[in-house]
Amino acid sequence: MNGRCVITVGDLGEFGVIARIAGRLPQGRAVLLGPGDDAAVVSAPDGRVVVTTDLLIEGRHFRRDWSSGYDIGRKAAAQNLSDVVAMGADPTGIVVGLGLPADAATGWLDELTDGFRDECDLVGASVVGGDITRCDLVVIGVTALGDLGGRAPVTRSGARPGDAVAVAGRLGYAAAGLALFREGLNGPPELIEAHRRPHPPYARGPEAAALGATAMLDVSDGLLQDLGHVAEASGVGLVLDPEAFTIPYAMRDAARLLAVDPLEWVLSGGDDHALAATFPEDVRLPPGWTVVGIVTEGTGVQVRGVSVDHGGWDHFRE
């Protein structure tokens, strides 16, 4: 024993935990009524609300010995906020459901809460409420809300032959970091950190909608698998150019160390929460977007001249 007293969520009790969380969460301009009532009230100036939800389970989506509470909070918020911007909307708020072991330290809970708050702050959103219960593992359910600002939602079903296929954000970083973790390796640090916490290109979603994107989605399960959803929903084919993808030196170094092809991480790795979109061929894309292929007649996704694993992530097969 080191004599240090650790206060746990079990010591505080349910309502003490709720009060502790709420005390760390300032509310933004879109919030008309925040935590403390039966439900929150968030403004929706557009008259339509974009809604998405995700579930994260300890040991399945994160490990507390690999990631801090702060990293986990940032990651849980990010993957939902990214889905909102992938519709071309501006995030306004999230609600969080938490299952926590009674012996979870309140310091760890503070870190988790701060992670939620700081990730939301990047897009001007707020944590507006949620629920908490006791659980053997940490379980996090996040529901995110967004406002379209008068824009039409950008779905997966609008891609047309002749459109350009473009991506924004990082690809393959998180997959490379996970591969390094599994082998017990600690570098390169930018790849390790990418697994712990994604960096979605939030501003690019509404920007793509304003530019006339015909289809868009968040890349969470691997670029090839996710673009396959666009191909299926739109009734088109997509052909990607492998030379269009920049593979950073850190990823090349990690690939050599693990004896794998880094292009596999870029094309099939998930959890970076990049954005992929299709645009009319005459649209001039601003910095932040990279054209990587074209929409064609036909079905499915192909990579010109390359045979790669289209698998991506599947919760019931991994």
Q: Contact, 300 vs 226, CB < 8 A? A: no
What is the per-residue pLDDT for 4? 57
Letter string b/e over residues 173-194, b meaning 16 or more CB atoms within 10 A of that residue's CB: bbbbbbbbbeeeeeebeebbbb
What pLDDT score does 310 carry? 55
Which residues of the chain, if any, have pLDDT below 70? 1-4, 308-318
> Residue 213, Cα to own-chain centre: how many angstroms?
20
pTM above 0.85?
Answer: yes
Q: What pLDDT, on the 0 to 100 scale, is given for residue 217?
A: 98
Strands 41-42 and 31-33: antiparallel
Residue 255: its pLDDT value, please?
A: 96
Cα distance between residue 102 and residue 184, in whole Å: 29
